[in-house]
Structure 1
Amino acid sequence: MLDAVLWIFQNIGMAFYNLAYAISHPASWLDWSDKEAIMRVVYYGGSVEFFFVAFTVFLVITAVGMWKNAFLWGCVRGLEGMANTVGRFAAWAGLIMVIQQILIVFIQRIFARPDMVFGIGIPLQLDISWYSEELKLYNALIVTLCATYTFVQGGHVRVDLIYAPVSHTTKKIIDMVGSLIFMMPMAVLTWMYGWFFMWRHLIVPNPSASETLDRLLMKSRALRWNVETIGFSPNGFNGYFLFKVLLVLFAGMVFLHAMAFFWRSYLEFKEGPDSLGKYLDRDTLGQGEEAFEGTH
C-alpha cells in the first residue's frame, strides 16, 4: 500500500518535469517529418506519464480554484462552452443524415441510378452504397461529439431513486464522487483502448500498448503511413479510420467535462442552492415551451 502511494506521488512530482520538457522541446514530438517524433506521440499519448500530467493539471487547477472561485468558474464556463459549441455544430450531422437518406431513396428507387454525381467539370462520382454506408459516420459524429453537450444540457436519462429526494449538499457530494470514480476512469479506459486502436489503423508497423518507448523508437525505422481505406463492400464507404479518431475525441471530451462537472459541483456545494445553474448555457425552444422542455 505504501509503495503504491509513493508511486502515485512520484508520478505527480514527475508530471511537472514531463510537462515542462514537452513544452520546451516541441520538435521532439511535433515534427512529424521525423518518424521517431510520431512514435513518441504514439507512446506518450497512451502512457502513464501523460495520464499523470493531465491528472496533475486537474489537481493544480482545483487547488487554485478553491482559493479563487472566480478562476474555477472561468474554467467551468470555458469547458462547458467548448462542449456546447462542438455539440451544436455536430448536431447538424443529424439533418445532413436525413437529407442524404432521402436523396439515396430518390436516386436509387425513382431514378434507378447506381451512383450519385456532384460537381462541375470534374465531378465527385461515388456509388450509392458509399453514401449509404457513410450515414454511419453522421451517426457516430452525433454520438461521440454530442455526448458532453447533451450532459451540459441535462439531456441524459438518469434514475433518481436515491438522488432526487436527498438534500442539495448530498447531491453535490454524489456529483463530485461520481465524476471522480465513474466519469474519469471510464474516459481514461476508453482513451487507452481507443488511442492504440486508432494508431493501428493509421501506421505500420502496428504499435502496441505493451511496447516500451525504446521498442517503438526502434520500430520507427520502418514506419510508414497506412491509413485504413477498406470498406465493407467493394464500392462502400472507405473512411472507417474516422470512427477510431472520433472514439479518441469522445474519450478526451468526456474526461475534460468530468473535470468541469466536478468543479461545478464543488462550487455549487460551496455557494449553496442559489448557485444552481450559474453561468449554465442551456438551449431553449423559446417562451412558452418550458413545460415541453422539462419532459426530456
Structure 2
Amino acid sequence: MEPSDHDEPEAAGARRLTSTLPEFQSARGMLVSLAYRLLGSWHDAEDVLQETYVRWSGVDRATVVEPRRYLTRVVTRLAIDVLRTRQARRESYQGEWLPEPAPSDPFAEVDTSDLSLAVLHLMERLTPPQRAVYVLRTAFELPYDEIADILGRSAEDCRQLHKRASTALDRDRPRFEPTPAEQRRLLLDFVAAARDGDLARLEAMLQESVHEWSDGGGKRGIARKPLVGREQVATFFRRIYDDRELSVVPLELVTGPALDVRVPGYRHVLHLVIDGDRIAEIRIQANPAKLSALGW
C-alpha cells in the first residue's frame, strides 16, 4: 500500500526524532546532573529535560555547531526561568523549603561526588544567575567565556557572580567531612539513641550550634521553623523517634547516604551533615510531593 499524504508528515516526524535521539541520549547524564544541581528538584529537572528534548528535536541542525553546548545552554536557561518562577511561589510555601531527594541511578554516568543535599539547600540563597554560574563553573569547569555565552552576560560579570556565590556558600561548608561509611554509621546511631530516649547520648552526638530543618510542605505535623542548638534538637528527635514502631532503611541518594525513616502515619528522608565527629546539620524531607522520585 502506498503511503497517504496524511502518513508522510508523521513518518518524517518520526525520522527526525529518531535522528536526534542519539546525540541527546549521549549527553543525558550530564544534562540530568546539570538540571538537578540548578534546581534541587528531581521533577523540575525532568520537566526541563523534556522541554529541552522538544526544542532539540525541532531545531535546524545546520545552525548547531556543538550539540552539547547547545543543550547545556537550553537546560540552563530553562532552569533559570523555573527558579525565577519558583521564587514567587516560595513566599506562600508552608515551612522550610528543602531540596528533593533523588536516587543515584539516573546519574550513574557522571561524577556527583561533590553533590550534597546541604549544598543544594545552601544554593537556595543564591540568585538564579549566581546559581547558574556557580554550577557551570564549579561542577562542570566551563570557561567564563562559554558561561557568558550561555547566560548572555559578559565574562567579567560571570566571574563576579561566581565570586559572590562562592563566598556565600563556602563560609558554611563543613571543614572535616567523614567517609560515606562513617556517615551511615552515625545516621543509624543517631536514630537508635533517639528511639531509646537517650537524651545524653543524643546531645553528645550534636554540635552545640547544630541546626535542624524540616520540610513537610504543610502536609506533615513536623517543625515548620528551623531548630537551633543541641538541647532543642535532641529533645525534638527524642520526642518524634521515641516509638517502638519506628523503622529505618538505609538509602543511597545521588547526594550521599540517608535514611528512609518510617513512623506511624508517615515516612521521611533523614540526612545529616557531619563536621569532624559531630552532627552539624540535620534535614528531614517529609513532603510527599518531593518523595515520589524514590518510588514512595
Same-fold status (TM-score > 0.5): no
TM range (shorter): under 0.3
Comparing both structures, which one devotes a greater share of its residues to strand? 2
Higher relative contact order (CA 8 A, sep 6+): 1
TM-score, normalization by structure 1: 0.27
**Greater per-residue helix proportion:** 1
Report which of the two structures shows the higher radius of gyration computed on alpha carbons.
1
